[in-house]
Structure 1
Amino acid sequence: MTTTKLTWLRKNLFSTWYNSLLTFVCLILICWVTWSASTWIITQAQWQVISANLHLFLVGRFPQSLYWRIWIVLEIIVTFSSLTWGITTNKQNLKWQIFGLLVVNSGILLLAFSLNSTSQLWLISTTFLIIAGFSLGRKFSQILLPWLSLFWLGSFPIILWLIGGGFGLKPLSTNLWNGLLLTLLMAVISIVLSFPFGVLLALGRTSNLPVVRWFSILYIEIIRGVPLIGILFLAQVMLPLFLPTNLRLDRLLRGIAGLVLFSAAYMAENVRGGLQSIPRGQIEAAKALGLNTPFVIILVILPQALRAVIPAIVGQFIGLFKDTSLLSLVGLVELTGIARSILAQQQFIGRYAEVYIFIGLIYWIFCYSIALASRRLEKQL
């Protein structure tokens, strides 16, 4: 093993004198950057801005007396996520999965030490739910797998009910939905709505009906030629002009409309690439078996087309998640918008690096998790 590593180093990093020189220069540069960054993180950075405003980063101005709703939402998401994790776990990588489970639980328990007693109890219960969900998913994977998508779909209205209130709970204005909470809600809702809309546009662009095809082409090309910030401003300003005077859409709904309209156009082009990869013979064979056009599309074309463009679709989802940061420019106080409010506090003026490094870390964690999930889905399909 050691000989193999030495051979690889000699072949790739020290094959010639200039490769050796370049390797040493890069090592010195990496060590200098690492040392400088570590020194700043440990001795100069003021991380109090994060600890003092952690609740603002996560839930913004959500009333503290109603935090129990957010904790229940977190428990629901954690339970179904760990259940999904257990169901989709590969037996060959079980040791790594258990190691990852221990790392996640250890991180949650370490976080609990810096919180109050109520939050500590909620986080401890979260660790138990992670373990229980993973174990149940592993043990009853064949039974639970057909119901998994229904579990997630059923949990979504419950989550919205807990956050927004109504039907027995105190209603809460969307102006109090801020921070990471708003970012995740906007991203998830926009992704869920833009996907079917994009598929319909892709099918419309390949349709034999001239009206449907040209409408889809015009929509896709016009939207793709306009920047997202322009679409968001149009959704906030122009959309109410097309509605009845007695109907006033919430700013949050207008923001979702802008994201969905923009993302659907790019999603349509990704799906169209998958549709074009399907051989014509499969369509003719399906019709020869007696399937009509809707069943040919649903049962034969779309499953293969979507499987072929999973990386492009996931890339679109990741881009949409990061694009939610532009909502702060149209008055929605999501994660980036709440950071501007925190930096306006007198005692934390000028702490841009700490705040935006923390925000960047949050975005990276979620985007990398989406990428990992997509790779696992791609392997299974």
Structure 2
Amino acid sequence: MTASLRVWRERLFAGPVSSVVTALIVAAIVAIGWPLLRWAVLDATFSGATRNDCTGGGACWVFVRARFGQFMYGLYPIDQRWRIDLFAVIALVWVALLFVRSLPYRAWVGLGALVILPPLGVWLLGGGFGLQPVETRQWGGLTLTIFLAVYAGLIAVPLGILLALGRQSRLPAVRLISIIFIEFWRGVPIIAVIFLASLLLPLIMPAGADVDRLARAVIGLAFVISAYMAEAVRGGLQALPTGQHEAAKALGLSYWKSTGFIVLPQALRISLPAMTNEFIALFKNTTLVLVVSILDLLGIAQASLADPNWVGMNMEAYAFTGLVYWLICFALSRWSKSLETAGGAPRGH
């Protein structure tokens, strides 16, 4: 018996009670997993074009195949979807380069990604400057879900860092403003923020002034998540040993230099798991934009169920969207774990 099998045996069958609990868990997994496996795979229908092709008693994945384009792109014009694909390839390749440790000027490559990719994505998706304009009401599906999460995160992370530093500031005014901002946005439900930003904000804006409803949703999400990001970063700042601050002072570094080069990098490594959790929460909370008729992945799934040709496909629609959300969230958590392990995150004493 190998060492790993011996460890698992000791964990799962350490005694009579542990053995009974293990047996009950295995029985529950079999009782639930086998019917699910039959429905999702063994008895499912994968090929076809219409509901009439689904003759088995399992899942009708033909529905997902028929609606796959809408699940991914929403109502984005079919002849313009290449723009989304192009940006996805550029972004993935650029981000993949950051994982090459031997890459020269890797920090500059990362800075270039932060400076170039966001406006490039807005241009490719929205059009203009030589590209056919596509209104944001035509955006949808997984594309819109990722757009909301990424662009809200790009605002929330730096804002959260500034708020965390502000809450630790010795300046009473800065500290008070940071505390009020954080506590206010933490106390407001995200769904209320999205609703107010999308429906009531235009009523109080000056005549003729208008902000795209998608932009309003992004800003609303960013403000709420930035408050939680601030608390995550503050936890990292408080976990740092006091010796780090004292060493920076001994070197004669100014506040901004000691914070930027010594304190903040270590605090962010400590805060990375908590920050990743907040980003995962942000990704899942993007589904709330459905209340203002912005059709993200879940919204497109629900809208697809209204098609009379596919009535009754609720299980397939929600199973597919749930699987997509789970895969992305799981990938984010594993990525965070790998960064934490590779970075050797320091621990507070």
Match of 1:114 in 2: none
Deviating 4+ runs (over 6 angstroms): none
- Alpha carbons 1:80, 1:151 under 8 Å: kept: no
Tell me how far apart the structure 2 counterparts of residues 10 and 68 of structure 1 sit (CA, whole Å).
Answer: 52
Which one of 313, 332, 350 corresponds to residue 275 of structure 2?
Answer: 313
Which one of 319, 331, 334 corresponds to residue 369 of structure 1?
Answer: 331
TM-score (norm 1): 0.80
> How many residues matched?
327
For the pair 1:35 / 2:34, whether they are aligned, the reply is yes
1:279 deviates by 3.4
Tell me how far apart the structure 1 counterparts of residues 135 and 18 of structure 2 sit (CA, whole Å).
Answer: 61
Which one of 72, 75, 79 corresponds to residue 61 of structure 1?
Answer: 75
In structure 2, relative to structure 1, the CA distance for the partners of 1:307 and 1:343 (3 Å cut) is: same
Look up the SS of the partner of 2:103 in the other structure. helix
1:144 deviates by 5.5
TM-score (norm 2): 0.87
- Alpha carbons 2:118, 2:151 under 8 Å: kept: no
Which one of 57, 60, 64 corresponds to residue 50 of structure 1?
Answer: 64
Flag the structure with higher helix content. 1
In structure 2, relative to structure 1, the CA distance for the partners of 1:35 and 1:168 (3 Å cut) is: same
Tell me how far apart the structure 2 counterparts of residues 377 and 345 of structure 1 sit (CA, whole Å).
Answer: 44
Alignment of 1:79-158 (within 5 A): 79-85=93-99, 87-88=100-101, 141-143=102-104, 145-153=106-114, 154-158=116-120
In structure 2, relative to structure 1, the CA distance for the partners of 1:11 and 1:52 (3 Å cut) is: same
Give the aligned residue type for 1:57.
Answer: F
- Alpha carbons 2:97, 2:103 under 8 Å: kept: no
In structure 2, relative to structure 1, the CA distance for the partners of 1:142 and 1:350 (3 Å cut) is: same
Tell me how far apart the structure 1 counterparts of residues 170 and 96 of structure 2 sit (CA, whole Å).
Answer: 45
- Alpha carbons 2:280, 2:329 under 8 Å: kept: yes
Deviates more, 1:334-343 or 1:284-293: 284-293
Alignment of 1:214-293 (within 5 A): 214-293=176-255
1:25 deviates by 3.4
Q: Which runs of 5+ in 2 are unaligned?
A: 44-57, 344-349
1:200 deviates by 1.1
- Alpha carbons 2:95, 2:113 under 8 Å: kept: no
In structure 2, relative to structure 1, the CA distance for the partners of 1:171 and 1:10 (3 Å cut) is: closer
Q: Which runs of 5+ in 1 are unaligned?
A: 89-140
Deviations along 1:171-227, one digit per CA (max 9) or x if unpaired, are: 111111111111111110011110111111111111122222111111211211111
In structure 2, relative to structure 1, the CA distance for the partners of 1:48 and 1:17 (3 Å cut) is: same
Aligned-residue CA RMSD (Å): 2.1
